[in-house]
Structure formats: structure tokens, C-alpha cells
Amino acid sequence: MVDEQRTSIHGQWSGRMAFILAATGSAVGLGNIWKFPYIAGENGGGAFVLIYLLCIAVIGIPIMMAEVMLGRRGRQSPINTMATLAAENGRPAIWAGLGWMGVIAGFLILSYYSVIAGWALSYVFRAASGMFEGVTSDGVSSIFGQLVSDPEKLLAWHTIFMVATMVVVARGVQHGLEKTVRFLMPLLFLLLLILVFYAATTGAFLEGLSFLFSPDFSKITRGSILTAMGHAFFTLSLGMGAIMVYGSYLPKDTSIAKTSIIIAAADTVVALLAGMVIFPIVFANGLEPGSGPGLIFKTLPIAFGQMEAGILIGTMFFALLVFAAWSSAISLIEPAVAWLVENRGMNRIYASVWVGIVTWLMGIVTALSFNVWAFEFEFAGEKKTAGMFDVLDIATANIMLPLGGLMIAIFAGWLMYQQSSKDELNMTESGYNLWLFLVRFITPFAVMIVFLNVIGVLKFE
């Protein structure tokens, strides 16, 4: 029978708002401000945005609800939660593998996420020094090129970021993460709004909005659909154990449906605001909207170099970008740390250091992918040039995360006792039935289409 007194040994969020801020901090990060604008640019703008929003609404939110629900039901690390829930619902113990896949995916993502966050960290000091004042687009490209071509600098910033991540996780749920996110996310949102107002003065604001919101489905390829699906999982932190472990710290009286919708809405708004900031600057300065992962580092510095108080605003923006990435990184490392505490008898400090060091070592591969270990290959018709960074990005965002989401949907929708999921979700009958329909039929079908596409069974041109 279900243990109604099941509690997490790691602690609990102090309340509903703490969970919303923490989960939003996990979701809102480089995926919104760094990744979303450039993949939208690479895939035709507005048409891609529509497909992405559809993925969020009918797939992302229902799976987020399912993942939070599983986490709160199990009250343990994702691995132990799935083992416990499998036994509780009379299912095979192999379902613990879903927890393992999530933890591994989170580890791989953090290994390259930390390197990209290191770029942002280095730009804090570049902005503060006035390096961007009056800089041209060629000058910004040169600054960025010098950074990514220098392995030692990349490793140094990667190291600083990983140490900062380990420090917060070691301090625990309330004293570490919760205190960190309570003021950072509102400030990031405010700064994005300020930058939107600046973008409106560039002379290319309407062109940027048209690119972002006017759909041109002729530009959608089979790779675009796969990318939209993968990013819907990536940006909401789904399928990587982070939301499940955060759900395990969620108070019993908190509405999972309402908080999931709020988190997804905040995440999407930030992504769209970032696009509204970046694309007008791109067009106003004659830059290429599909220029890849360096887009944010080649466009925003131009704005900071031209606006009044640009040194201050630029420094604050990149600092808050680092903090947004920081809160996401914490959520990626937490599942593995929680498992070590539960299963290996480690304290949080030792577990955080151990996981952090292993992740740091893996991050060296990514840091070298942009210079000495760079190689080219094609994926879904698209040319990739950043070696193992692109391999890890594709393996996680396009394969592991959607697969994790599919398994979460199958377990929550088909294998878990309905009374158990009803108790946790505590929704109206119609709301519960809609959620159940989505996780049983719509989500599995959509994810299967993606996998049939990626293995070449279906061709989307």
C-alpha cells in the first residue's frame, strides 16, 4: 500500500512560491536566452515558434505535471522514486532505468551547459571593462572568436562555474537553491523588458517581430520539427530528473497543475522576449539570424556598446544570464547528488564535490570541441561544426529527453494506478481526464513521430 507519510530526507520547499521560483529557475536559463533565438533563426522564425508553442502546450505541460507528480509521490531521487513507484504499482523493477536515464541525461547536459555558461561569465567582465563600447559587429565576432578558440580560457571559466554550482547544491534545498532564485528570476525578467524597449529603438523592431512571429511553413524541414520537440523538453528541464527531484520537495497542498502552467508560461515568455530583443538587433546591424550558438554573444554586446549606461546594463545582463544558468545547473546536478546521499551514505558536501568533479572532467570534451577537437558532420540535413558539443546536444535534447518524456507519459498515464495520480494531482474530474488523455495518447504519438523521423522511417521535408 501507499505510504501516506512518505517524506524526503533532503528537506522541502518552504512553500508554493519557492517551488515555482526554483522550477522556473531550472527551466529559464541558457535554453531560453541563448539557445531558443538561434534555433528559431536557423529554422525559419515564426513557423518554428508556432510548432514550438504547440509542443509546449500539448506535450510539455502535461509531461511536466506527470514528472512533478511522480516526484512528489516518490519523495526520493529519480532513480529511487521510480523503483519505489514501480513496486507500489505492481510494475517491473526495470522502471528504475527511467530514473537512471534522467540522471545521466542531466549529467551530460550539465557537462556542456557549464562551458556555455562560462562564456556568459567571461562576458560579465568584458562588459564591465567597457570592451563593448562602440564595438562593431566585426569587433564582437573577433572577441567571441578569440574566446572559443582558447582552450585554457574556456576551461578556466568552466571550472569557476562548476565550483559555484557545487557550492550551492552542497548547502541544500532551502539554504542553497531557494535563497539563490528568490531575487534572480524577477531581475532577469525586468532586464529583458528593458532590452525589449531598447530593441524598439533600433529601427528594425518590426522586421524582428515579423521574423519571429510571421509563419513561413515552407522553411520547415524534418529537422525543424525534431528540434522543436527536443527544445520543448530541453527548455522545461523535462526528462532529465531535475523536475522529478524538485517535485519530491514539493509540499503536499500545492497544486501541481497550476504551478506547472505558471512555470511553462514564464519559461515561454522569457524565450519570446529574448527573441524580441535579439532579432531587431540582428537585422539592424546586418547580422545573420541563423548564425548558431554564438548569436547572443555577437548581437547583444553591440546594443550594450551603443545604449546609455550600456556598461552597467550589459554587465548586469550577463551576470543575470549566468545566474539563470546557475539555477538550471543546480537542478541538473541535484538528482545525482540526491541519489548518492540516499544510496551511498554520503553527506551533501561530499556528494556535490564528487558529482561536480566528474561533470567538470566531461566538460573538458566540450571545451575542446570548439577548437583543438573540432570536427564536422551532418544531422537531419544540417551541417554541424562543433564536434562533441553538437553530438552531446543532439543526443540529449533530441533523443534522451524526448525518450524520457515518453517513458514518463507511459508510466504516469498507463501503468500508475489512476487513484494514485488523482490523489497527487488533485484536479477537477474534467481537468484530470484532459491531462490523462494527453499523456496517454497525444504525447506518445508525437514523440513516436519524432523517433520514426530521426531513424529515417518517416521523411519530413
- What secondary structure letter does DSSP report for 379? E
Using one digit for the tens of pLDDT, what is the confidence trace for 237-263? 888 999 999 999 999 989 999 999 999
CATH topology of domain 16-454: Amino acid/polyamine transporter I (1.20.1740)
Using one digit for the tens of pLDDT, what is the confidence trace for 164-193? 999 998 987 778 778 877 877 788 788 888
Within 10 angstroms of residue 221's Cβ, the number of other Cβ atoms is 16
Contacts of 31 (CB under 8 A, 6+ apart): 231, 234, 235, 271, 328
For the chain, what are the domain ranges?
Answer: 16-454
Within 10 angstroms of residue 216's Cβ, the number of other Cβ atoms is 12
Looking at residue 291, what is its pLDDT? 65
Q: Examine the pLDDT at 3 and tell me if it is beyond 60.
A: no
Q: Examine the pLDDT at 356 and tell me if it is beyond 90.
A: yes
What sign has the CA pseudo-torsion 146, 364, 293, 376? positive
Nearest to 171 by CA among 334, 322, 394: 334
Distance from the Cα of residue 129 to its chain's centroid = 30
Residue type, 291: S
What sign has the CA pseudo-torsion 345, 356, 327, 24? negative
pLDDT category, 81, cuts 50, 70, 90?
Answer: very high
